[in-house]
Amino acid sequence: MFPSLSTLAIIAMALSIAILSGANAAPISPIHLTQAVSNLKALSADNMEGRMPNTPGHERAAAFISSAFSSITLKSFNTDYIHHFKYGVGWGEGSGSNIIGWLEGSHLPATYFVISAHYDHLGKRGRQIYNGADDNASGVAALLALAHHFSVNTPRHSIIFIATDAEEAGLHGAEAFLSSSLIPSEHIALNINIDMIGNGGSRNELYLLTPRNTHYNSVVHDYVAVNTSSKFRLRIGQPRKVDRESVLKRKIDWRKAGDHAAFLKHGINYIYLGNDVHTHYHKPSDTYENIDLAFFKSSLSHITNLATQLDQVMLKAQ
């Protein structure tokens, strides 16, 4: 119909039209939002002991997530949802456990979105517990809420939900999944990685980062343009500041600082969603009590809407 336009231009036009038309995105239910808050609190409780891999608290967290997957009746690739893996640490070896479930899509069941959030954290140091409420109990709680949402709002693509392990030590859980034989990389259309969505700072900022020149960037930009406000700011790109207390000695390159980087290494595009570092980042004070629950719920609502629109418009573009 448009012989003078390039294929990419046609795709961009289709995506933009879908966004402007609303793309029939079903909002997340208040019940799932309430359950997400409860799951965030449970995953960052003291009995989880900071979720350091290969500790009793970490095992409790893995069991909690696996039980939640079962209650949602996600499909599993093995006899259960837990996938053990090994990785190199210097001259030695480390181990971890990813928790993986999936839902079958209605239109493209052999093409997958992967929604990821790491559940490991820093554990205990002496008597202090690094609860990791924002980093990343918030992301895992969002992952579980999205699994609930799409279990009652069937996606077009199949969706894999993976709570990755050993992210803090070097993205090992994501790499183990991608190097396994579960799903060929060419069957994965997109990674949606959620990492820290519970503290947007004084400006209430949630960042959305994608690789450059992807065919779905117009979806993300249009969504941000329509939905950002002075009360909740959606930002394209990565945070740039270093926090005032010098928690970080250098700027973080968020393109490489999360599980989405492992997906891109395997040729899979991503959207990373998260807030900036803050005064509680990697400190014992990253507790449930310091989560901004209004920001968390708004972030989860936007992530649900955007994921739904991407599921619909990427299908139209294929």
- Which residues, 6+ apart, have CB-to-CB distance to 143 below 8 Å? 115, 116, 117, 161, 163, 194
Is omega for the bond preceding 305 within 30 degrees of 0, making it cis? no
Residue 7 resides in a domain: no
Residue 2 resides in a domain: no
Residue 69 resides in a domain: yes
Residue 17 resides in a domain: no
Residue 222 resides in a domain: no
State how many domains the chain has: 1
Residue 217 resides in a domain: no
End-to-end CA distance of the chain: 16
- Which residues, 6+ apart, have CB-to-CB distance to 304 below 8 Å? 25, 27, 28, 145, 146, 149
Find the domain containing 297 and state its range: 28-203+246-267+277-317
The radius of gyration computed from the CA coordinates of the chain, to the nearest angstrom, equals 19
CATH code, domain with 196: 3.40.630.10
Read off the pTM: 0.89
Residue 140 resides in a domain: yes
Can you give the pLDDT at residue 225? 95
> pLDDT tens digit string along 54-107?
999 999 999 999 999 999 999 999 989 999 999 988 788 999 999 999 999 999
Residue 1 resides in a domain: no
Closest C-alpha to 121, from 50, 211, 30, 175: 50
Can you give the pLDDT at residue 23? 47
Say if CB 177 and CB 162 are below 8 A apart.
yes
DSSP code of residue 46:
G
Low pLDDT (below 50) residues in the chain: 1-12, 14-15, 17-23, 242-249
Give the DSSP H/E element, type plus range, for residue 163. Answer: strand 157-164
